[in-house]
Amino acid sequence: MPANRRTTLKDLARELGVSTATISNAFNRPDQLSPALRERILGTAKRLGYGGPDAKARSLRTGRSRIIAVILAESLTYSLNDAVASEFLSGVAEVLDNRGHTLLLLSSRQTQAQIPGSASMADGFIVYGLIPSLALLESLPSQSPLVSVDFDIAGRPTVHVDNEAACHAIAAHALRTPAKRPGIINLRLTATPLNGRISSDHRLLPPERTITRSRLSGFHRALGEAGVDTEQVPMWNIEENTFEVCAPVISEILDLPASERPDLLLCMSDRIALTVVTMAEQRGLRIPEDLRITGFDGIAEGQYRAPRLTTVRQNSVEKGRIAARIILGLAPAEPSLLATELLIADSCP
């Protein structure tokens, strides 16, 4: 037994003159052996610096690692700095933590096109958001539980919010006060990347797999019901939900001549809406008199300072909790649809 080797269960067994099975039981099934012996084992374990069964060996033997992987559609950098994704992860982490599991963070946008092999150690996978290609998932063990969030994978359980209904509700609310020039700011809606005005030339992402398409349907339905010709409603697209990417597009909108500038902007995220608020204030536009704004998500930041955002609150933390429960087998592996809540505040009373 070389001194610089980690002590193993076998070393302990030899030291104590008992079998390896007994040591294993001492750690995993206390009821399977006498308290006295167990005490003795745990004692000398501590003395020899044995910290319990090796996780790698145990995972090979049992087939389970107690690790759950979350595969994020966006980059880690983006996701970690996005309030909605962070809340989702909080929800996941909360449940995992409670059940002694840990969280492995992966992104579908890594330098390596494939998901690292080490990921397949996970006992289950939560896929958050529309990933660029389902081919990514092929390297994952096909037997492991997998749940998708905010989009669908055939034959797998899903956690969703009813985006269409929520967007219909908030647009209907907004249109109760007639808008002369409504406009829509979309989040990653076009088939090819675009930051700017969407023209009829642009193709959009396929409707069945994309929450932003559902959100747009909701907006359009409400606009139609209000007698607005949706064809005439200008739309802009934003690729990433960050200040840096939003700002130029929003400048473009707010710097239109007053006769063309929208007086109502339906935004697909609070981040976008908040940036509109900030930039509108910089230009001396009054909210809501000159410009009404709605968001989506209900992030905390939108409710802190005046004008508070009119938005749809989706419970991202709960989405995370549910996804985690499904993966751990604590909830049935079936599609789950969460309710949203309309938050009416200053930006569009």
Partner DNA sequence: TTGTAGGCGTTATCAC
Partner DNA sequence: GTGATAACGCCTACAA
Q: Does 67 bind DNA (CB under 7 A)?
A: no
HSE at residue 308, side-chain half, CA atoms within 13 A, is 11
CB-based contact 148:158 (threshold 8 Å) = yes
Exactly one of 10, 207, 278, 332 binds its own copies (CB under 8 A); which one? 278
Q: DSSP characters for 83-107?
A: HHHHHHHHHHHHHHHHTT-EEEEEE
Q: Does 74 bind its own copies (CB under 8 A)?
A: no
Q: Does 28 bind its own copies (CB under 8 A)?
A: no
The secondary structure element, H or E, covering residue 183 is: strand 182-187
Q: Which does 34 bind (CB under 5 to 8 A by kind): DNA, its own copies, none?
A: DNA
Rounded to 5°, the CA angle 15-17-23 comes to 80
CB 216 to its own copies: min, Å: 27
The 136-175 contact track toward its own copies, x by CB under 8 A, reads: --xxxxxx--------------------------------
Q: C-alpha 36: how far from its chain's center?
A: 49
Q: Does 8 bind DNA (CB under 7 A)?
A: yes
- Copy the structure tokens of residue 284: 């001396």
CB-based contact 251:196 (threshold 8 Å) = no
Exactly one of 46, 47, 61, 305 binds DNA (CB under 7 A); which one? 61
Taking contact as CB under 8 A, which single stretch among the options 31-39, 64-72, 152-160, 285-293 is the one that binds its own copies? 64-72
Exactly one of 2, 35, 100, 284 binds its own copies (CB under 8 A); which one? 100
Neighbours of 284 (CB within 10 A): 7
Please, which residue, 94 or 341, has the CB nearer to its own copies?
94
Please, which residue, 40 or 221, has the CB nearer to DNA?
40
* Dist CA 305 CA 281 (whole Å): 13
Exactly one of 60, 134, 330, 339 binds its own copies (CB under 8 A); which one? 60
Q: Per CB under 7 A, which of residues 84..103 are in contact with DNA?
A: none
CB-based contact 173:152 (threshold 8 Å) = no
User: Cβ neighbours of residue 237 under 8 Å, at least 6 residues apart?
Assistant: 185, 186, 187, 188, 189, 190, 194, 195, 196, 197, 198, 202, 249
Cα 254 to Cα 180, 239, 272, 276, 341, distances in angstroms: 15, 19, 13, 8, 29
Q: Does 120 bind DNA (CB under 7 A)?
A: no
CB 101 to its own copies: min, Å: 7
Exactly one of 5, 229, 244, 258 binds DNA (CB under 7 A); which one? 5
Neighbours of 178 (CB within 10 A): 12
Exactly one of 18, 247, 256, 345 binds DNA (CB under 7 A); which one? 18
CB-based contact 197:235 (threshold 8 Å) = yes
Q: Name the site residues for DNA (rule: CB under 7 A).
A: 5-6, 8-10, 17-22, 24-25, 27-28, 31-34, 37, 52-54, 57-58, 60-63
Residues that bind its own copies (CB under 8 A): 6, 49, 51-60, 63, 65-67, 76-77, 80-81, 83, 86-87, 89-90, 93-94, 97-98, 100-107, 110-112, 116-121, 138-143, 243, 278, 281-282, 300, 304-306
